[in-house]
Each structure stands twice: as structure tokens, then as C-alpha cells.
Amino acid sequence: MARPAGAGLIAALDTQDPAQAEAWAGALAPHVGLLKLGLEFFVAQGPAAVARLARHRPLFLDLKFHDIPNTVAGAVRSAGALRPAMLTVHAAGGPAMVAAARAAAEEFGADRPAILAVTVLTSMDAATLSATGVSGGPPQQVLRLARLALESGADGLVCSPREVPLLRAAHGPGPLLVVPGIRPACSAAGDQSRTATPEEAAKAGADWLVVGRPITGAPDPAAAAAAIAASLRR
Ligand SMILES: O=C(O)c1cc(=O)[nH]c(=O)n1[C@@H]1O[C@H](COP(=O)(O)O)[C@@H](O)[C@H]1O
């Protein structure tokens, strides 16, 4: 999928309800580059419902695979059949797992899905990360996982806006950086810890901003998406 000029917007359609997802997709399509569907929708509605939403915009299918390499390769083959533009795996699954995901994606040819490696979830702060046994804070762990993932064939990374400058300094403009944890001023953080505004994330060098509740929870989701998209063009 072509890189946006500046930062592009991805709307996360986190719902179990196909009618709600369809309504959001129709209303948001003019304002976003991709639509993201994750586990909530996929588990409730399955592949056919996901495929139907691709009529509106290209899809980012965010299922965050994390398993043994052979299983992840099979899952990428299954998910790739829906022809999403992007798929996620957890970088913490290790080099062989990321490489297996990339090899399976290659089977779809030139317009294969991009494999994005999730580094440290944006909901985690230093204390939460340390509780999982990882020493050093999120920046060090994001850099460690980013190197592992990119050396193993990931096309890009999912990271918080806070790590974008570090990743650009370490890896240059090449890797696709897809960035959730976006909160326009006055939006509730909710369960997100490592956040920034859309303008800050774009200025830091993010390629795509993933925004869910600040759009879908707004009284007028299309207007909220349009406002964020306009702020990225300024
Ligand atoms: O892989 C993701 O997209 C992801 C990774 C991450 O570290 N943090 C994160 O929030 N996400 C996803 O990005 C979206 C953020 O949604 P909001 O917090 O509602 O804006 C959700 O669909 C999450 O599943």
C-alpha cells in the first residue's frame, strides 16, 4: 500500500455490531485512508463480514498474531485471503515467527499485506512493562523489538507516538510506522498510557495514525475524523 504524503489517518472500528461497523465505515471513508478491524469484530462476525467492509476503504486487519512460527504462517495465509493492506503480529514472538509471517505474506504477490510488528502496547507504562519481567522502560524495549522485527522481515512497526523519533533516528525513513495511542487535546486517555495528539505524532514522523474512540465515541464521528484529517494537512 502506498505511503501517505505526510501522516494518514486510520479509523479503528472496534465493535461487535456489523450494522454499526457498516455505518461508521460509510461515514468515515471520505476522511480516512484505511479502516482497522480488530479482534472484537473479527471474533464476533468472522471473515465474510470483514471482507464486506473492504468495499469502503482498504483494510488494516489487526489480529496481533503471537504463536509458533508454523501457526502464525498459517494464520497469515488465512487472513491474507481477505486481502487486507496490513496485518499485525507481535514482535515479541521472535525473529523466526516474524520471518514466517513475512514469508507467508509473500505468497500473495505484489499487493501482499504489509506485516506490521507490534512493539510495546500503547496501554503499557514503565511499571506495567516491568511487571511482565522486561527490564528498562518502554523506549528501550521498543527499540529492541523494532530491530528484531525489521531484521526479520517486518515491513513496519506499531508503536506509540512517543517512540517515533527514536525509531526514525535508529532506522531512518524506511519502516512504516503505524501509531495508535492518539488523543486529540481534550479527549479522554481511557486505557492508553503513551499518548500524543495527532499533530505531535505526525510531526514526529508517523506514517499512519490509528484513532478509535476519539472518532467512534464522538457525537458526530465523521466530523471528528474530518477535523483530525484537517489538522494533519496543516
Ligand atoms: O495494533 C494496534 O492497532 C494497537 C496497538 C497498540 O499498541 N495500541 C493500540 O491501541 N492498538 C489499537 O489501536 C486502537 C486504538 O483505539 P483507541 O484507543 O480507541 O483510539 C485499538 O483498536 C487498539 O486495538
* pLDDT, tens digit (0-9, with 9 covering 90-100), for 94-124: 999 999 999 999 999 999 999 999 999 999 9
Is the CB–ligand 1 distance for residue 213 below 6 Å?
Answer: yes
How does residue 178 score in pLDDT terms, banded at 50, 70 and 90? Answer: very high
218 within a domain of the structure (yes/no): no
pLDDT value for 3: 76
Report the candidate in 8, 49, 52 with the shortest Cα–Cα distance to residue 32. Answer: 8
Which residue lies with its CA nearest to atom 12 of ligand 1? 180
Instruction: Give the rounded distance of the alpha carbon of 190 from its chain centre.
Output: 18
Residue 61: which CATH number?
A: 3.20.20.70
Distance between CA atoms of residues 11 and 8, nearest Å: 10
234 part of a folded domain: no
| Ligand 1 binding pocket mutation candidate from 210, 211, 216 (most atoms within 8 A of CB) | 210
d(CA 230, CA 215): 14
Q: Is 225 part of a structural domain of the chain?
A: no
Residue whose cell numbers read 499518548:
195
User: Looking at residue 233, what is its pLDDT?
Assistant: 87
Distances (CA, A) of 91 to 80, 132, 147, 182, 192: 19, 15, 10, 21, 20
Number of domains in the chain: 1
In this structure, of 2-6, 23-27, 30-34, 196-200, the range with the lowest mean pLDDT score is: 2-6
In a domain, 84, yes or no: yes
Whether 6 is covered by a domain: the verdict is: no
Query: For ligand 1, is residue 63 a contact (CB within 6 Å)?
Result: no
**CA 107 – CA 46 distance, rounded (Å):** 22
Asked if residue 148 belongs to a domain, the reply is: yes
Sign of the C-alpha dihedral, residues 142, 144, 147, 148?
A: negative
Over residues 15-43, the pLDDT tens digits come to 999 999 999 999 999 999 999 999 999 99
158 located within any domain: yes
Question: Annotated active-site positions, please?
Answer: 62, 64, 67
Domain extent, residue 93, equals 12-176
* Residue 204 lies inside a defined structural domain of this protein: no
Ligand 1 atom closest to the Cα of residue 36 is 22
Rounded mean pLDDT of the chain? 97
